Amino acid sequence: MALTARFEDALVWATQLHSRQMRKGTQVPYIAHLLGATSIAMQYGADEDEAIAALLHDAVEDCGGEPTLREIERRFGARVAAIVVGCTDSVVFPKPPWRQRKESYLAHLRRTSSSVRLVSAADKLHNARAVVADYRALGEALWDRFRGGREGTIWYYRALVNAFQEAGTTPLVEELHRVVCEMELLTAQESDG
């Protein structure tokens, strides 16, 4: 796939939108996550619209809600906006309670488009890999970063794998499954030992 100036524009804008954000509990600039998720999406066959949506997948939720969604549509088109909103678990502020948002998002994944599932799975895979790596470095202290804590976070990742698999397994979903199994195994070993 050849990328055009639209992708470059999205990359610059995503960097600007998230310029003051860091990854949860770290000093890693948030753009690293957006680049990681986009890289994974492209590795698993994303077209340019899907790659742009991967760059912008957290923009609505974290950077302005509906006005940001309208700007995404104006700049990059209705398809990109639809993928981004499909990857968003809340466009309202304040956000509904964590568990409610996650359960609603899981139900949505089972019936959404393959483009939304591709970008969402790329996002979740990048996050799951970070959780595994950070757990190795920090141990149980890692769970303080997450609203769902240890149990809720592990439940959510397992439920994501199940929802993606129900919608139709892909090599990306299978990779997510392997990483989530590793997460479960690591945390089970810690609690047993």
Query: 113-151: per-residue pLDDT in tens?
Result: 999 999 999 999 999 999 999 999 999 998 988 888 899
Residue length, the chain?
193
Q: Of residues 62, 89, 103, 182, which has the active-site annotation? A: 62
Angle at Cα 7 formed by Cα 87 and Cα 69, nearest 5°?
40
Match 């912008």 to its residue by tokens.
Answer: 56
Joined tokens for residue 112 = 């959404």
pLDDT at 192: 55
Q: Of residues 49, 50, 58, 61, which has the active-site annotation? A: 61
pLDDT at 64: 86
Confidence tier at 1 by pLDDT (50, 70, 90): confident
Instruction: Phi first, then psi: give them for residue 29, nearest 5 degrees.
Output: -55, 140
Confidence tier at 190 by pLDDT (50, 70, 90): low
For the chain, helix (H) and strand (E) counts, in that order, are: 10, 0
CA 69: distance to chain centroid? 17
**Contact 146/153 with Cβ under 8 angstroms?**
yes
For residues 31-44, give the mean pLDDT: 98
Q: Active site includes 182?
A: no
In CATH terms, 5-192 corresponds, of 3.30.1490.20, 3.40.605.10, 1.25.40.10, 1.10.3210.10, to 1.10.3210.10
Tell me the range of 18-27, 95-104, 112-121 where mean pLDDT is highest: 112-121
Examine the pLDDT at 110 and tell me if it is beyond 80: yes
Report the SS3 class of residue 22. Answer: strand
The overall pTM is greater than 0.85: yes
- Integer Cα distance of 20 and 5 in angstroms: 24
DSSP state at residue 94: S
Q: Is the dihedral of CA 182, 185, 191, 193 positive or negative?
A: negative
Domain positions in the chain are 5-192
> For 23-27, 108-112, 172-176, which range has the lowest pLDDT when averaged over its residues?
23-27
Q: Active site includes 66?
A: no
Q: In angstroms, what CA-CA distances link 190 with 45, 92, 97, 110, 168?
A: 36, 37, 29, 32, 32
**Contact 39/67 with Cβ under 8 angstroms?**
no
Confidence tier at 105 by pLDDT (50, 70, 90): very high
Q: Is 164 exposed, middle or buried (0-12, 13-18, 19+ CB in 10 A)?
A: buried
pLDDT at 41: 98
For the stretch 55-66, pLDDT in tens is 999 999 888 889
Sorted by sequence, the CB contacts under 8 Å of residue 62 that are 6+ apart come out as 18, 21
pLDDT at 60: 93
For residues 104-116, give the mean pLDDT: 94
Sorted by sequence, the CB contacts under 8 Å of residue 112 that are 6+ apart come out as 86, 120, 167
Examine the pLDDT at 193 and tell me if it is beyond 60: no
